């Protein structure tokens, strides 16, 4: 039980910091991670990508080297 609680707390802190770095709603992602734990990672990845696409635009060419 202690492992689940500590994993949930660490997930909350991690997603709070990541959402602040990406300019997303930090309280929402921290609360969601506290409730669900690390299972929120796929949701965060999709939301981060959508947030980035809205900021940059959908018809821009991206070249990664």
**pLDDT on residue 58:** 76
**pLDDT on residue 59:** 75
Three-state secondary structure string covering the chain: CHHHHHHHHHHHHHHHHHHHHHCCCHHHHHHHHHHHHHHHHHHHHHHHHHHHHHHHCCCCCCCCC
Q: Treating both helix axes as pointing N-terminal to C-terminal, what angle do 41-56 and 2-22 enclose, rounded to 10 degrees? A: 0
One digit per residue, pLDDT tens: the chain, 65 residues? 899 899 999 999 999 999 999 999 999 999 999 999 899 999 999 999 999 888 887 777 667 76
């Amino acid at each position: 039980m202690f492992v689940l609680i500590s994993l949930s707390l660490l997930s909350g802190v991690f997603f709070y910091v990541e959402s602040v770095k990406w300019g997303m709603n930090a309280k929402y992602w921290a609360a969601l991670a506290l409730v669900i734990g690390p299972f929120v990672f796929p949701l965060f990845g999709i939301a981060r990508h959508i947030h980035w696409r809205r900021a940059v635009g959908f018809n821009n060419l991206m070249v990664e080297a």
